[in-house]
Each structure stands twice: as C-alpha cells, then as structure tokens.
Amino acid sequence: MEYVTLNNGIKMPILGYGVYQIPDQEECEKCVLDAIHVGYRSIDTAQAYRNEEAVGRALKKSGIVREEFFITTKVWISNAGYEKAKASIEESMRKLQLDYLDLVLIHQPFNDYYGTYRAMEELYKAGKIKAIGVSNFYPDRYIDLAQFSEVVPAVNQVETHVFNQQVRAQEIMKKYNTQIESWGPFAEGKNDFFTNPTLQEIGTKYNKSTAQVALRFLIQRGVVVIPKTVNKERMEQNFNVFDFELNSEDMEKVTALDTGESLFFSHYDPQTVEFLTDYGKKGLE
C-alpha cells in the first residue's frame, strides 16, 4: 500500500474502499469484510449512506486492531450546525463502535457548514478525530472555508475521474496543502467508461483492466481513490494497482480524456442546489 501524508502529519492510504449505495446492512457488512480480507484498511462511509453500523460490525468481526484502519465518515446536511454536527459525529462513532475517527468530512457545502466545521475542529483538538476536511466543496467555497478556519481542511473529496480530472481544483488545494480525494473514480460507468478505447489500449499494454488503468492514473497524480464494488474479485482487481506504472506517454493519453466538466451535477446549478437542500432538510430518519 502507498500512503499520502496529510497536512497534520497523519498518513492516509492512497487506496481505500467506499460503501456508497450499499444500504443493505447484511450486504454492506459482508462487503466490508471481503474488502478487509483483500487488504483494504481505509473504509469510506457517511451518515447519509445509512450503513455506518454495518461497517462497525465488520471492523469488529475482522479481528484486526483498530490502529491498522483508516475510517472516514461524513456529516450530512440535516446535521449541519455546531450542536447538531457534534452530536451526529458522536452518534457516528457509536454506530461504528469506535472511540475515535480518522477522518470526518462535511458531506455537502450547504446549511450551516461553518458551524459544522467548528464542531469538527473542537473534536479534532480533543483527539476524537485525527483529521478533518470537506467533500464536494468547489474552489470558491473551499477557499472561503480554508481562509476563515483555524484548521485548514486536510482533505477535499470531489468527483474526480478520467473525464473530470479536477486539475485546476487540485492546484488550488495544493496551495493550501489540502489532499484531493476522488469519489466516483470510475465515473459510475458513464461515458462508456469500461469500454473506453484509450483505457483499453493502455490496459492491454500492461495486461490490466480499464478500471486498473484509471485508478493508476489518479494515484500517479497524487489523488486518493476509494473505488466501490460489491464483487470480491473486482475488489482484488482494484487493489492490484501497485505493480505497474504508466509512462509519460500513457499519462498524456489519459490526460487528453479530460472534459473539465461534471458527469453528475453542478453545485452552481440552482436546480441541483434545490434538490440537494430539499433532500437534506428531510433528514436521515
């Protein structure tokens, strides 16, 4: 495993396992145990995924000591604000059966995320959270938060894949010493990702799949990745990306796939913001 060092000295695996869209408790628990068996030690969940308890059970059943894991969760929109956020993070720790979290992120840049961040800063200083950061923060809101916070975000998790490489956003994060982390490294299959001719051609050269080429490309750019799959063989395949390296020519070919645009949504779009905030107001019950 390769690691990145966050701005406070904490080491984070550059490859982890994401549990987005695995709400079924039994399936999620099995998937996390499979991932741990494969070798994953970084697990990324969120309050909104509704599977923190399943992740917690899997961690316990694995029999592996707590210190080997790097566990991330995220505070949802409905839990924004100092008091609510603090209580929700403590509830997340209870569900995960952990006495500290390795990384906590603000899931979306809506509602009172300043209050949320203050609660996270307090828990960070108390040692309950090893690192704090944000998710889905575009450069404008990210800079604003970074400029007016005591603790600069350690991580910003944003949509990052071969079709939306976040080059400019990554440059801005580097300026503030914030680590970029990818959600959706496979673009959730959009744009015929898995049959992309460029990725297939490069994959044939290295005897690797399109998914492995895409992960390797991001890793070589210093991007933390958390691919999600419920298939153990694919978990193994996604994990097996440290035994080859793309040369500069291949890196350039993949770089040329960048459209610079989201394949999912834009936080600059009023309809998207209305949808997410309306959804957030409903809470997680």
Structural tokens at position 57:
């059970």
What's the pLDDT tens digit per position in 11-56? 999 999 999 999 899 999 999 999 999 999 999 999 999 999 999 9
Structural domain total, the chain: 1
Q: Please tell me the distance from the alpha carbon of residue 65 to that of residue 69, in angstroms, as a whole number.
A: 8
CATH of the domain at 265: 3.20.20.100
Per-residue pLDDT 10s for the chain (285 aa) are: 999 999 999 999 999 999 999 989 999 999 999 999 999 999 999 999 999 999 999 999 999 999 999 999 999 999 999 999 999 999 999 999 999 999 999 999 999 999 999 999 999 999 999 999 999 999 999 999 999 999 999 999 999 999 999 999 999 999 999 999 999 999 999 999 999 999 999 999 999 999 999 999 999 999 999 999 999 999 999 999 999 999 999 999 999 999 999 999 999 999 999 999 998 988 887
User: What is the Cα Rg of the chain in Å?
Assistant: 18
Structural domain range at position 71: 3-281
Structural tokens at position 276:
């997410």
Token pair 């500069």 is found at 248
CB 213 within 8 A of CB 3: no
Cα–chain-centroid distance for residue 93?
Answer: 18
Q: What is the pLDDT of residue 163?
A: 98
Q: What is the pLDDT of residue 113?
A: 97
Token pair 């990745």 is found at 225
Q: What is the pLDDT of residue 284?
A: 87
Q: Of the residues 49, 117, 124, 142, which is catalytic?
A: 49
Q: Please tell me the distance from the alpha carbon of residue 70 to that of residue 101, in angstroms, as a whole number.
A: 8
Q: Report the amino acid identity of residue 58.
A: A
> Is 20 one of the catalytic residues?
no
